[in-house]
């Protein structure tokens, strides 16, 4: 909430997104691929993760490969399967990347909440 009930900005909220870009502005890592990586971790497959994220397998795999090429390390590893199918998991670097991004997001959330609260207090006073 941006202010107490009845204040001018009661129904106004600050929303934000952040992502990692290359120096040339090419997107590397954002909330979409983070959501995909978390789904791969929980589902054990790119296909199941793509379905859960409501994107095509081709888009999911393309986003992963693009990030891996830019980062110059693997973030997932695929294991071919037999009759029961294969499995995909995060590499150690993929796990570290996911955990570091989550920690960064938490710190941003705290800082932005504090800053937004100050902003709306200034507006409402």
Would you say residue 16 lies in a domain? Answer: no
Q: What Rg value do the Cα atoms of the chain yield, rounded?
A: 19
| pLDDT digit string, tens, across residues 6-31 | 677 777 788 889 999 999 999 999 99
Task: Confirm whether 12 is domain-assigned.
Answer: no
Place of tokens 């497959």: 45
Cβ proximity of 33 and 64 under 8 Å: yes
Specify the number of domains making up the chain.
1
The model's pTM is 0.83
Q: Is residue 50 part of a domain?
A: yes
Residue 111 belongs to domain with CATH number:
1.10.10.10
Each residue's pLDDT tens digit, 29-75: 999 999 999 999 999 999 999 999 999 999 999 999 999 999 999 99
Does residue 1 surpass a pLDDT of 70?
A: no
Which pLDDT value is given to residue 2?
A: 60
């Amino acid at each position: 909430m941006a202010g107490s009930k009845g204040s001018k900005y009661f129904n106004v909220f600050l929303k934000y997104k952040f992502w990692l870009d290359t120096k040339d502005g090419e997107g590397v890592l954002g909330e979409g691929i983070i959501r995909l990586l978390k789904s791969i971790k929980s589902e054990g497959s790119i296909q199941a993760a793509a379905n859960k994220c409501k994107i095509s397998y081709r888009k999911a795999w393309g986003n992963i490969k693009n990030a891996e090429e830019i980062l110059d390390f693997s973030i997932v590893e695929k294991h071919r399967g037999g009759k029961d199918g294969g499995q995909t998991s995060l590499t150690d670097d993929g796990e570290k990347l996911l955990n570091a991004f989550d920690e960064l997001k938490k710190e941003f959330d705290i800082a932005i909440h504090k800053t937004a609260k100050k902003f709306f207090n200034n507006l409402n006073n």
